[in-house]
Structure 1
Amino acid sequence: MSPERTVLRLARPYLGRLVAAGVLAAGTELAGLALMATATWLLITAAGQPPLSALTVAIVSVRALAIGRGVLRYTERLAGHDAVLRILTDVRARVFETLSTRREPVRTGDSLSRLVSDVDAVQDLLLRVLVPGAAAAAVGVLAVGGAALISPAAAVALAAGLLVAGGALPAAATALTRRTADRVAPLRGALAGDAIDLTHGAADLAAYGATAAALDAANRRAGELSRLERRLATSGWAVDAAGVLVGGATAAAVAVTALRADVDGVLVGVLAVGALAAVEACLALVTSARQWSELRAGLSRVAALLTPAPAAATDPVDLASITVRYRPDGPPALDRVRVDLPPGRRIAVVGPSGAGKSSLLHALTEWGGSPAQVGGLLAEAYVFHASVRENLLLGRTDATDDDLAAACATAGLLDWVGEQPDGWDTVVGEDGGQLSGGQRQRLALARALLLDPAVLVLDEPTEGLDPAAADEVLAATLGAARGSVVLVTHRLRGLAGLDEVLVLDAGRVVQRGTHAELAAVPGWYRDQWLAQEAAERGYVSLGTP
């Protein structure tokens, strides 16, 4: 299915509004055409100084058409934007939902470009391509029909000019802009990513002496984008100039043809000026074709996020028991790892950096089923620039204040919320910038608890907390979880009550058993546990900062 059809499927509920906008747009162009024709007749006739009564109808008509054209244009814009903004709301919500749940990594700048610039392409498709294109086509047909009532020969000349203006020139505009326009949208997304990197990574780039290289790369991309946009502007100017020539040639051809057909001189002027107005209206098809060519890449990027990804083949999954095992197409960091999760089972996954812990969690969330089955707190959970309530409701939209309070109490955030003047409506800032690291982590954990999936996955849920608070929050979380729990952590304290601990190394399970069993035998787990115990005892003896 083409990207245009994919996007337009979301417009079906608002089809009536779009049709109304198209009819109003056609009425606007017809009013303009009639105004030009009537005004021309009035001026030529008035030059002969006839009685005023002979001009009264034309004078009133000119006034009515001038006022009507403005009213129709305003109403058309009102109806069109009302429909398009409703459609954009649906499209942007669908795109955001896909971006927030997609498995593969995506750059923030590219996501922003898709959510803003590319979604705006949907608006342009409707308001600058479909509606004016349909109106121009309708005006062209009616103009030829009106000319045929005066002179069939002149109507033929007008039809030829309109075919060039509404057919050949749009095709030329499409051919000239398509290849260039297809490269613009990805470049804009990449440039937005460069801006994010240069802004948020400025300190690291400066520390490693890489600022100049990063700026050069961004400047090269910006220069390429500027060059492509200049090329588009140049080709657009050339086609527009051709459109002006076609309009003049069509008006001249209509006038000559009408004179040869012995049409009255006043009507010859009306036909000539009307031909100019009709060609100008049909030149909107050139603009529509150029806009469509420029929008295709952006629409394709939006359509890719509106089309559900095909479901991957997985083992049978139900809420009672979930098994994740190594698959040939799975993450390369895992090698024949199998995890069995009957209801209520609690396991921890530990190991050195790069052992495959996070890969195992992603395998669980990707192969385990829907968020109602497997979900929770993954690494670097995003906190939105919104209120505490809105961030929490992402986990469960129907949660009550009591549910929010229970989740925050478990995560150790309830007291902080109670201290804020705005309570649940406290805005946490972009990416939780108004929160400390520990508060941000507690908020993300509370959101995961609200989700309440059959299998709760937790990736370093106590990161950023002091040891005492970490033990308290972990114990409360394990006690509150109603389903199975898979905990990835670098802290080995608090694991004594779990059913099993898996030690990963290079994607393999090198040790597995309870905390007591692993702490009793020599190996990585025992060494790390003893080292952490000693370090945390020293931390506590010096006082918690």
Structure 2
Amino acid sequence: MTRRLVLAGAAASAASLASVALVATAVWLVVTAGGRPGIAALSGAIVAVRALAVSAGLLRYVERLAGHDAVLAGLADRRARVVADLVPRSTTIARGRWVHRLVSDVDAVGDLVVRGVLPAVAVGLTGTAAVLLALVAGAPAAAVAITAGVVAVVALVPVAVRRAGARAEGIAVGREELSAAALEITRAGTDLAVFGALDRAERAAGACAARVGAAERTAAREQGVLRGVAGLTVAAALAGSVAGAAHLGPAWAAVVPVVVSAVLAEAFALLVAAPRLAVARAARRRLDSIGTGPVPAHGDGVPGGGTPHLRLRDPALDLDLPPGSRVLLSGPSGSGKSTLLAALWRVREPVGEYTLDGVDVRTLDPGAVRERVGGLWQDAHLPRSTLRDALLIARPGRSDDALRAALAAADLTPDVVDGGLDGALAEGAENLSGGQRRRLLVARTLLADHPVQLFDEPAEGLAPADADRLLHTLFTLRPPGRTVVVVSHHVPADLPAGVRHLTL
């Protein structure tokens, strides 16, 4: 990645130098054409114009290719780290903010390199070359004007970044709130309409959008003032270069100011990019602040094989799950049942001590833990797909017979949708009843066949008799040695032998 960034910086600088040289050569040709210069000089200038025009475009392409390649590689790595930080905290971060940070903030960070570092390097080198050109031409006053103009414009960049940053944080938070509100309306629009709350939610989202718009307009006015100051600075530097090169004769008197103008345009582009740089800095701060504690994104693998022995001890519970355990957890809402399963799944940090085969899970790779400990969570989702593909998410490559067996265990048949296994499921399986969706999720979980399977409210939406039958199946279907933990508000009157019932 470092090599590609160095290549991108070199290409950006060379492209800027080629562009400035192209303009200077073209102006020299125009000014000296009336004086009928020698054929050698004329031919050399014409060849130089063509060569510089081609090389400027080619070098700019190399800069884009190398720079964006390096940035995209870095963004992929950062996105993976952000996911590792967000997943354990997914229950405390609104989904709209989750999406905003994962997509918008990570993308914005790339602007620091593409719109900040690379252009700054190019401005420094082209500015130095322009100053040297003015000195070689015998126009020290023009060299001073170039230096003063570039320094003045570049000095305004951090001011613009700070002013934009002061607004960018509020704008970004407002956009997060707007994303969360829009996602809530999209996902829960029907429920909001049923309870007469849709208009209120839309007004709240509209008010949030209005606040974001007002903040963006204020930020734009501030940036406009700074750009106006920079424009006056550029004009003064250009006037100084014209005066400083006036004694050099027509050709140099025309070339030097044009070169100054091209260099100052590069510097001005940095100022124009200041709002994006401020957004990128704010995004990086938010991303860096996500992880407040150690999240082992790449810990050790899970030792051993087969069904692990799990032990979770916290101030409220000592849960010992040797291989083959069958446990039913019940209790009132808010007692911590789903939180307990989230800790066992390693999508949430456990409060107390959690060991797997005697090893602290905090030292293990969460992904490796979830290969051994899986199941069904309460808000599990079914994508828009065929029935077959919805099931194969759990275990790609399984046969149709295995899919039918999993459906049968959940008291379903492929005929639950028109077309059987090739039938279409709507987004979230909205074309099924609530009970059918829950059974389908149970079938998908059974198909995954993790050594330890956790079920969070698998019987939700089912009639009592159907719930009894499903829970009995979950506890008796799996072979001995496999562990099953079920969280359920519904407690069957007769539990299968060997099932422990714990109340939280």
If the TM-score is normalised by the length of the shorter chain, which range does it land in?
0.7 to 0.9
SS at match of 1:458: strand
The 5-angstrom pairing of residues 12-411 of structure 1 reads 14-50=1-37, 54-96=41-83, 98-151=85-138, 153=140, 154-166=142-154, 168-259=155-246, 263-304=248-289, 309-310=294-295, 320-327=308-315, 336-365=316-345, 366=348, 367=350, 368=354, 369=361, 370-372=369-371, 374-385=373-384, 399-402=395-398, 406=402, 409-411=405-407
Change (3 A) 1:156 1:207: same
Q: CA deviation at 1:344?
A: 1.2
SS at match of 1:283: helix
Query: Which one of the candidate residues 410, 414, 432 is aligned to 1:416?
Result: 414
Change (3 A) 1:404 1:343: farther
8 Å CA contact retained: 1:184, 1:228 = yes
Change (3 A) 1:355 1:89: closer
CA distance in structure 1 between the partners assigned to 2:43 and 2:334 by the alignment:
88
Deviates more, 1:28-37 or 1:148-157: 148-157
TM-score after normalising by structure 1 = 0.75
Is 2:458 the counterpart of 1:461? Answer: yes
Change (3 A) 1:222 1:461: same
CA distance in structure 1 between the partners assigned to 2:265 and 2:440 by the alignment:
59
TM-score after normalising by structure 2 = 0.80
Q: CA deviation at 1:379?
A: 1.1
CA distance in structure 2 between the partners assigned to 1:161 and 1:408 by the alignment:
75
Residues 129-177 of structure 1, C-alpha deviation per residue, up to 9 Å, x if partnerless? 23323322332233333333323723333222211122x1112212221
Deviates more, 1:345-354 or 1:366-375: 366-375
SS at match of 1:200: helix
Q: Which amino acid aligns with 2:478?
A: A
Percent identity of paired positions between Structure 1 and Structure 2: 36
Change (3 A) 1:160 1:417: farther
For structure 2, the residue ranges without an aligned partner over 5 or more in a row are 297-301, 355-360, 362-368
CA distance in structure 1 between the partners assigned to 2:30 and 2:499 by the alignment:
94
8 Å CA contact retained: 2:453, 2:485 = yes
8 Å CA contact retained: 1:386, 1:428 = yes
Deviates more, 1:456-465 or 1:383-392: 383-392
Change (3 A) 1:320 1:48: closer
Q: CA deviation at 1:188?
A: 0.5
Q: CA deviation at 1:411?
A: 4.7
Change (3 A) 1:206 1:360: same
Q: CA deviation at 1:448?
A: 3.7
The CA RMSD over aligned residues, in Å, is 3.6
Q: Which amino acid aligns with 2:153?
A: A
Q: Which amino acid aligns with 1:192?
A: S
Q: Which amino acid aligns with 1:357?
A: K
CA distance in structure 1 between the partners assigned to 2:6 and 2:383 by the alignment:
38
CA distance in structure 2 between the partners assigned to 1:418 and 1:402 by the alignment:
19
SS at match of 1:379: coil
SS at match of 2:93: coil
- Structure 2 match to 1:520: none
CA distance in structure 2 between the partners assigned to 1:362 and 1:286 by the alignment:
47
Change (3 A) 1:494 1:448: farther
Q: CA deviation at 1:275?
A: 0.8
Residues 45-101 of structure 1, C-alpha deviation per residue, up to 9 Å, x if partnerless? 123344555422222322332333333334433444444444444444554455455
Change (3 A) 1:191 1:30: same
Q: What is the total number of aligned residue pairs between the two structures?
A: 472
Residues 387-433 of structure 1, C-alpha deviation per residue, up to 9 Å, x if partnerless? 667766765xxx55238964763353795299887958x77443344
- Structure 1 match to 2:357: none
- Structure 1 match to 2:364: none
Is 2:486 the counterpart of 1:487? Answer: yes
Q: CA deviation at 1:280?
A: 0.9
